[in-house]
Structure 1
């Protein structure tokens, strides 16, 4: 019981320090109503603090009388003050009154022990209310709902025909669930030789990325273009290829603020130049997606 009481006093002192503002009302011996002088002080304080907010009211007594009597008296003093202010000042919704009876550090002057202390926050500090009281808001992170992608997609081609494309749903899921800073390669996205025109059989890859962006409105990406073979990208082809993907997405109503693009030429190869075979050249000749926000 003693340990519990000491903990309670520590918590009280913490509130005392953090709340910053306090007002004290004193009582006559064995009284739970204030005298005329203290009542006038209380009413004046109420008038001056219409915009303040009460966060705690603590009641105390001197050591005269039994513990039970003093605990009851302290509670009555708290109730009296609370009834005086409840319709005049703002009070926290989770407001709780506290009464300490004689169980606190007593002053040698008994008159200073018969009191109620009101803790409050001024208008200028209300925006910091939880911070002042040491209250940390619980952040609830909602789990991201799993997105169901279709197995196939039918889209129109520039020549007027249509194509049926089997979607790589595993790749789409990876992009949609990727962490910020993660890079993902768009496999099988190929261009005509020495151009930024996407091969017809690779157009489905662009639709995969488009569909992921449509289904994940918070997703932002940066499109990276890379080349093989030549150490110098003289015509900036890697940037043009990255921009081609960017333009496709913008033309299909993806907001520009969610997209950006860069070309790196052959400066970040997977395999050292010159490559040994077509497998290595194909690996270096790639488009990657950098997750900027998700």
Structure 2
């Protein structure tokens, strides 16, 4: 019987099932080993400690091996790898009560006909995935900010769209963002007097760097590209271009809340 590649991606699986946001880091091991060097331990500990502790709901640890060796042995090896990560986190101050899963998944199988870069593929399977389950961001409440367009705005009102948040370094619209923009487009067509500027923002850049790099274009234009992505989508949804403009503001206008709020695009009313 032909062996098939086992694709196990916790981030996608749980995201679809429960709509929960997750952060995932993979830690790679040498063949037949379950020990880590100091650099690897520091990287995985830093991964957890640099995540906003107020948003960490739980941590799951999954160990794997390559397809070489017997099932029972690989199950023990993958479990030992997961335990190594658990111990490293606890020894470095991560509370054990938030680590809810430590599981060895055994071997990841590879197709018989996969020959290209086989050693590299196997090395990527000798790993542990550390999955941080994140709580939803709290609702943002700020004076002059609204979560959707309405009929009686005044010039200067900010429309902060809760789902128009971006991945770090990205200007690509998420599925939730597109659904939110569909609502904006319908309301814009209903309230025909409203004009607005689409403002793009970034977070987490040094003070001397006012703009961030877009990982897709490799250029320092991330906030502009985020605003442009929203502009293009609303134009696609038949919002008249003469009623909207777009501009990137880089890191000049932080909200003073969680940094994730600053990876945003908002609408600012310019004419009614």
- TM bucket normalised to smaller: 0.3 to 0.5
- The structure with the larger Rg is 1
The structure with the largest helix share of the pair is: 1
Query: RCO higher in 1 or 2 (8 Å CA, sep ≥ 6)?
Result: 2
TM-score computed with the length of structure 1 as normaliser: 0.37
